[in-house]
Structure 1
Amino acid sequence: MLKSQRIATLPIDSYDFAEELSTIDANDAGGEYDAFTFGSWSAHVLANSGGSEEDTSFRPYEGQLGVTELGRKLPGVMSMVTEHFPLERLQWVRVFSLSDGILAPHIDFLEFTEPGTRLQIPLRTDEDSLHSENDIVYHLRRGEVWKIHTTVPHSARSISPTARLSLCLDFAGADEPVEVKNAVPAEQSVHIVSRPPVSEAEMEELLSSTAGLTTSTMRAAFRRFAAVHFDRQSDATAAFDWFVEAAERTGDNAMADKARAFRTYCIEKRGYREAFEW
C-alpha cells in the first residue's frame, strides 16, 4: 500500500508561472546531493533559515523563514505558497528540477532525530516523470499536493529532456498535519503505474552487462540498476541487491564492499553532510 498521500489539489491553472519556470530553468543551482542523483538534478532554494541562496544543505532549524534572492524573483510561486499553506512550521521552500535523470532509492532524514513533513507539488511535469515508494510506482500530476513518506525507500525518475519542476515544502514536525487552504476537488484518482515482472533473462542480462565493471565506472553503472523498478515490478531496494551481486561477480572484494556501502549510505545510515566517495 502506498504510504505517501495526495492530500489536496491546488487551482494551479489560476497562476501564470511560464516566465517564472523559465527563471528556474536558467538558475545555476549547486549539487549538494550529487551522490544520490544521476542525470540532471538540482535543488533551487526559494526560502530557508537565513535567506541565502547558497545555503542548500537541508536541516531542521529554529527561527524565521527567510526568502532568498531567487524566491524574490518568483513572486507567483511564493504567493501560491503563502495563499495555500501555513507558514509557522515552514522551514524550506525549494524547487527540485529533474530532466533525463533518476534518483538512487533513498531514505530522507537519516541524519536527523525527527523526520519532519515534506510536501511536493509539481509545477511542470508529464507522464514520463515518476515517483516510487518501495515496490509502487506512481505519477504526481501538476498541482497535486503530496505528502511524501520519506522514511521508506523512494525514488524519482524523469526521462523527458524538459525538466520536471516540483515545489518542495519542508515543515517542522512529523505528526501534526499540514492544513492546505483553498484546495479544489481532485478530478482524477491517484495514478499508480502497472509494470510487468522482471524476467530471468532480463535479470541475467542486467547482471552480465557489468562484466567489465571497474571502480571508475561503478557510479555510472548504478543508474541502470536504479531504473529497473520503474519499468518492471520490483522493490526499489532490489537495485542495491543486484548491484552488490554484479560487483561480487567481478571477484573484486573492494568493489563489492563499495556497493554494500552505497546501500548503507542511501537507506540505512549516514551522517549530516556526509559525502559518499565512489
Structure 2
Amino acid sequence: MSSNRNSQLIGRLTLDPIALQKDLETVNSFPVIQEEYSEFGTGTWLNHSLWNKDGKYSNTLYSDYENTAQITELGQSLPYLNHFITQYFHTQPLRMVRLRNLIDGVVFPHKDFVELTRHKLQYIRVFIALETNFDGFHSDEHNVFRMRKGEVWVLDASIVHAAANFSTKSRKCLCLDFQYDEPTHAAAIFKNAQDYNPLLEPSIMHRTPLNESLDYFDEYLDEMANALRIHGNLSAVLRDLTCLHFHYNIPVTQPLEWLILIAERSGNAEKITEAQDYIQFLAYNRQLQQRFIMA
C-alpha cells in the first residue's frame, strides 16, 4: 500500500430527504459546545459529537482508543443518521462520528493526527455531505473541491488541508473516523463492497493563476503587514490569505508561508515568533489537548 492516501471521492450514497431533513432540524436545536479546535479557523464552526469514546456529547476530542465508539445523547436523538451509518458502514473500527457545520467561515491550512500515535494509514477519515451550497469548499495539497450531497469522501487529514464556506447558508457534513490495527484501504469501511466507487467524477474547482511577481501583490502583502502592526491579529491575516487559496491556483501551504513573510514585514519580533509557533501548532507539532493562545 502506498504511504499516501490522497483525498478522494469514493462513493455516493442514497439519502432519504424527508428523514434526513427531520434529523437536521433536530441538529439545529443542539447546544453549542466550545470548539476543541477553535484556533484552526474563523466564522461559525459547529462540531457536534454524535459517537465518541465515552458517549458524552461534550467530548469533541478525537484520540486513540481501542473500544468501539458509543452513541452520545445528541446522537441518540438522530434515528435516521444512526440507521444510515449502521446500514452502510462497519461500526466496529468506528471511533468517532461528528456532524460538522461551517457557516460563513474558513478553516485554516492545517494537518490532523499529528498528536496521535498510529501510522497515518491506520486512520481513515470520511466526510459525507448532508447539506451543501455552491460556496462551500474543501482543499488539500492537490485540489480545491466541492462535496455534493450524498458523496462519500475519504480525506487525507495527515496532509495540509483547509475548508471554507463563503455563504451564510449551512454546509453540514458527517465526519466518520475509523481506526485500524494496521494500514488499511479505504474500501474496508463499507459493509457492501459495491458502495466503494472511486471512479465517480468529483467536482474539482478551476482556479485563476496568481502572478506573485506583480507590483500590486507585493503592495497587498505590505498592506497586510501594516494591518498586523495595527491590530496584531494573526488569525485575521491568515483568514484573508486562506481565502486567496480558494480563488487562486496557489498551494494550500502558501498562506502559511505568506503569514511568516507578513509578520517579518511588520517589523514586530514578537509577531514573527508567534507566527512561527502558530504554524508549527497548525501543521507540524502539537500535543493532545494542546491549545494555542494568541498574544
Task: Give the C-alpha shift of residue 2 in structure 1.
Answer: 8.8
Q: 2:46 is paired with a residue of what secondary structure?
A: strand
| 122, 129, 136: which one aligns with 1:122 | 129
Deviations 1:89-132 (A, max 9, x none): 00101111101001110110000122311011011012211111
Opposite residue 23 of structure 1, the aligned amino acid is T
Task: Choose between structure 1 and 2: higher helix proportion.
Answer: 2
Q: What is the count of residue pairs matched by the alignment?
A: 278
Structure 1 residues 98 and 60: alpha-carbon distance in aligned structure 2, compared to 1, 3 A threshold? same
Task: Give the C-alpha shift of residue 5 in structure 1.
Answer: 1.5
Opposite residue 71 of structure 1, the aligned amino acid is G
Counterpart residue number, 1:275: 291
Counterpart residue number, 1:30: 34
The 2-side partners of 1:153 and 1:232 are apart by 17
Counterpart residue number, 2:228: 213
| 138, 145, 157: which one aligns with 1:138 | 145
| 166, 183, 195: which one aligns with 1:159 | 166
Q: Which moved more, 1:5-14 or 1:35-44?
A: 5-14
Does the CA contact (< 8 Å) of 1:11 and 1:184 recur in 2? no
Q: 1:63 is paired with a residue of what secondary structure?
A: coil
Opposite residue 223 of structure 1, the aligned amino acid is R
Q: 2:27 is paired with a residue of what secondary structure?
A: helix
The 2-side partners of 1:244 and 1:226 are apart by 14
Counterpart residue number, 1:191: 203
Does the CA contact (< 8 Å) of 1:2 and 1:133 recur in 2? no
The 1-side partners of 2:146 and 2:111 are apart by 19
The alignment-based identity, stated in percent, is 29
Unaligned ranges ≥5, structure 2:
none
Does the CA contact (< 8 Å) of 1:92 and 1:171 recur in 2? yes
Matched, 1:175 2:183: yes
C-alpha RMSD over aligned residues:
2.1
Task: Give the C-alpha shift of residue 268 in structure 1.
Answer: 1.2
Counterpart residue number, 1:84: 88
Counterpart residue number, 2:101: 97
Task: Give the C-alpha shift of residue 206 in structure 1.
Answer: 3.1
Unaligned ranges ≥5, structure 1:
none
| 254, 257, 263: which one aligns with 2:273 | 257
Structure 1 residues 198 and 5: alpha-carbon distance in aligned structure 2, compared to 1, 3 A threshold? same
Counterpart residue number, 1:222: 238
Does the CA contact (< 8 Å) of 1:120 and 1:167 recur in 2? yes
Structure 1 residues 15 and 60: alpha-carbon distance in aligned structure 2, compared to 1, 3 A threshold? farther
Structure 1 residues 149 and 93: alpha-carbon distance in aligned structure 2, compared to 1, 3 A threshold? same
